[in-house]
Amino acid sequence: MIWSTVAHIFSILLELFQIGRMSDMDKDLEILVLRYQLGIADRKLNQTIKPNRTEKLTLAILVNRLKSASNRSTNELRSSLRLFSPRTIFRWHNELVKRKWTYDQKNKGGRPKLSQDIQELVVRLAKENPQWGYGKIEGELLKLGVKVSQTTIRNILNRHGIVPAPVRAGSLGWRHLMNHYKSQLLACDFLTVETLFLKTIYIFFFIEVGTRRVHIAGITEYPYGHWVAQQARNFSWLLQERDTDYVCLIRDNDSKYTDSFDTIFESEGINIICTPFKAPNANSFAERWVKTLRVECLDNLLVVNESHLRRVLTEYVDYYNSRRPHQGLNQQTPIPSPPPEPSGLIHNRKILGGIINDYLRIPEDTVASKS
């Protein structure tokens, strides 16, 4: 107890000696630092002391001024700092210095960032051409007036998760192969319709896979083999008039397709491809058209007889081939139509008595002349 009292008195005398050596300016600065810390402690009593940016700035400036004015060491500053260590104050000061020399992000140097349109173009070329490497894409962009380095192209493709050309080229599937040969493919199939009096009528049709154009070959109640062969002969004459170049015809294994049916197309240089048993997806384009016909047309009316069905199919197929947009054709029609008028009145043409609405634009002068 006696020794602690003596040590305490000695420390007080030592502090008085140090204060006596300080100038009035140093004393005023130290008093200001102590008062500022007491203000922070009083304001944030009973909670964690976390000074804001302004308080850090003020305390760092005062301590730095006190250190430079009195030439104190770090250990000597501890007598003036009661809430924070000198290391903490100096760290705050270094953060302020870093913030001072941080450049504005808006005016930072370096190569300007590529526009979003150019980045989308690079991604598009890579996806549409799996065998193209970075150099090939760079050359194609130069043809389009866009200068992009191979390093930039690589970085763009990496950000979009597109692997290099050798890996992309190895991932080609049947969809890509079919897109290449679809303009040379034909498909055919049957569908049945039940009339109002429960009579079954067969519809035989062909579809051009590339253009999605549909041809109704015939409608009958009795699809015998010789009847099917005759419809195939009529359709082959139509192909000769159009001077087409089809290579393959896809059909199922129905017994209605006789040897005479195959011989007619083989004589025209068209190979017959039979789908596997119980695999309708192998003739997916024909099956998809059957569903479209039922959903948009046949499910919304009652077929009275064969003559009625023939009129319905004629009107619907004409709309399907010339006016109906197709998602698989980028919203175009199987038979290309002229571009619409830039202005005019929008007319709603009723198909099949209003089951389908077909919208077209009519020039105003045409409407005026009719009226």
- pLDDT at res. 361: 81
In the 3-class helix/strand/coil scheme, how is the chain assigned residue by residue?
CHHHHHHHHHHHHHHHHHHHHCCHHHHHHHHHHHHHHHHHHHHCCCCCCCCCHHHHHHHHHHHHHHHHHHCCCHHHHCCCCCCCCHHHHHHHHHHHHHHHCCCCHHHCCCCCCCCHHHHHHHHHHHHHCCCCCHHHHHHHHHHCCCCCCHHHHHHHHHHCCCCCHHHHHCCCCHHHHHHHHHHHEEEEEEEEEECCCCCEEEEEEEEECCCCCEEEEEEECCCCHHHHHHHHHHHHHHHHHHCCCCCEEEECCCCCCCHHHHHHHHCCCCEEEECCCCCHHHHHHHHHHHHHHHHHCHHHCCCCCHHHHHHHHHHHHHHHHHCCCEHHHCCECCCCCCCCCCCCEEEEEEEHHHCEEEEEEECHHHHHHHC
Region(s) of the chain under CATH 3.30.420.10:
179-329
- pLDDT at res. 244: 79
Q: Please name the CATH architecture into which domain 179-329 falls.
A: 2-Layer Sandwich (3.30)
- pLDDT at res. 343: 74
- pLDDT at res. 371: 53
List average pLDDT for each run of 10 residues in the chain, which is 371 residues long. Answer: 65 65 72 70 60 68 64 57 65 71 57 84 87 86 87 89 72 57 89 93 95 94 94 92 86 93 92 89 92 94 94 95 85 82 80 88 65 53
- Check: pTM over 0.75? Answer yes or no: no
- pLDDT at res. 219: 96
- pLDDT at res. 217: 95
